[in-house]
Amino acid sequence: MRRRDVLKALGGAAACLAAGEALADHKEDGKGPMGPLSKFHAYLCAFHLAKKDAKFVLEAHHYCAAVNDEVHQCVIFDKVGDGARILGVEYIISDRIYRTLPAAERKYYHPHAYEIISGQLLAPGLAPEAEDKLMAGLLTTWGKTWHTWPDPKTALPMGEPLLMWAATRDGHIPPELLAARDREMKISTPDIRKRRAVLGPVPQIDAPKSVDDLGRQWTNEGPDVRPQK
């Protein structure tokens, strides 16, 4: 894949990526059998928790494409490989756009700062240097995520869509889930966390007490300002 196509696929946040890394090599004009899906090259892996119940946690595999430099859209699966189920969608926007939204809309958006600095948000397949640059670009973004298949253990998607959230402090993701993913992907989340320490202190923010609470990026209370490194 050509470098200009990488930039188009991921927008400004991915300007660091080298051509071809972790990207599929198939027809990219959007008119082939895959249609718009041929543009969904970027692969991210994280954990989602329900905003109304932080104890409900799922591993989420995102395949993303750019709408423009400040808006991205992702299709979310419960796993990779055969039998993967579409859990829902996530829309990722820049901090600049987020700040223009009314509070009634901002309540749907979760921050990405904790999961990036803590090493929990991954771009599997990218070289560490490229992944780190991508994460630095995504650090201040926000995500609006709805799971239309709330519980992948059910045979069919049941019930209303579920508004999902991101981990925002240590302990939100059970250690056994992190350890299982580390084994599966042959990585070390603690090592990635150490590598990303250059991005600043790891935020420690409580889970929302209400579905109407607004997300916070950096602090648990007071002015939500990014701390100095």
Mean pLDDT score, 4-24: 42
Mean pLDDT score, 146-164: 97
Comparing CA positions, the residue from 111, 127, 110, 135 lying closest to residue 196 is 135
Q: What pLDDT band is residue 119 in, cutting at 50, 70 and 90? A: very high
The DSSP bridge pattern shows strands 162-166 and 86-93 to be unpaired
Q: What pLDDT band is residue 19 in, cutting at 50, 70 and 90? A: very low
Round to whole Å and give the CA distance between 4 and 26: 15
With contact defined as beta carbons under 8 Å apart, do 14 and 123 qualify?
Answer: no
Top-confidence residue, 3 or 125:
125
- pLDDT tens, 29-80? 556 677 788 778 899 999 999 999 999 999 999 999 999 999 999 999 999 9
According to the model, what pLDDT value does residue 6 have? Answer: 39
Share of the chain above pLDDT 70, in %: 85
Q: Is pLDDT above 70 for 20?
A: no
Round to whole Å and give the CA distance between 226 and 215: 14
Q: What is the DSSP string of 55-105?
A: EEEEEEEEEEEEEETTEEEEEEESSSSTT--EEEEEEEE-HHHHHHS-HHH
Round to whole Å and give the CA distance between 25 and 159: 37
- Rg, C-alpha atoms of the chain: 17
Return the residue matching tokens 């395949």. Answer: 63
Mean pLDDT score, 111-115: 98
pTM of the model: 0.85
Check residue 32 and report its DSSP letter: S
Q: What is the dihedral of CA 83, 72, 65, 8, to 10 degrees?
A: -170
Output the six-digit token pair for 228.
């100095």
The DSSP bridge pattern shows strands 109-111 and 42-50 to be unpaired
To the nearest whole number, what is the mean pLDDT of the chain?
A: 89
Round to whole Å and give the CA distance between 109 and 216: 10
According to the model, what pLDDT value does residue 38 have? Answer: 79
According to the model, what pLDDT value does residue 40 have? Answer: 81
Comparing CA positions, the residue from 207, 208, 212, 209 lying closest to residue 102 is 212
